Amino acid sequence: MNLFGMTLPQLQHLCTEEGLPRFAARQMCDWLYAKRVDNIDAMTNLSLKARSRLKEIAVIEKPAPVNCQVSKDGTKKYLFPAFPGSQENKEHYIEAVYIPDGERGTLCISCQVGCKMGCRFCVTGQQGFHGNLDSAAILNQIFSIPEFEQLTNIVYMGMGEPMDNLDNILASIDVLTSDWGLAWSPRRITVSSVGIIPGLKRFLEESQCHVAVSLHNAFAIEREAIMPAQRAYPIADVVALLRRYDWNGQRRISFEYTLFKGLNDDIRHATQLVSLLKGLRCRVNLIPFHPSPDTPFQTSSTIATNRFRDYINAHGITCTVRTSRGQDIMAACGLLAGQTQT
Instruction: Catalogue the active-site residues.
Output: 95, 333
What is the radius of gyration, based on Cα positions, of the chain? 21
Q: Is 323 helix (H, G, I), strand (E, B) or coil?
A: coil
Using alpha carbons, select from 58, 8, 48, 53 the residue that is nearest to residue 28: 8
Taking CA atoms, 293 is separated from 72, 122, 126, in Å, by 21, 11, 11
Using alpha carbons, select from 327, 340, 293 the residue that is nearest to residue 97: 327
| Cα distance between residue 27 and residue 44, in whole Å | 10
Give the pairing type, strands 253-259 and 283-288.
parallel
- CB count, 10 Å around CB of 96? 25
Using alpha carbons, select from 258, 163, 158, 241 the residue that is nearest to residue 209: 163
- CB count, 10 Å around CB of 309? 18
Cα 337-341-342 angle, rounded to 5 deg = 145
Q: CB neighbours of 125 closer than 8 A, spacing ≥ 6?
A: 114, 115, 117, 118, 119
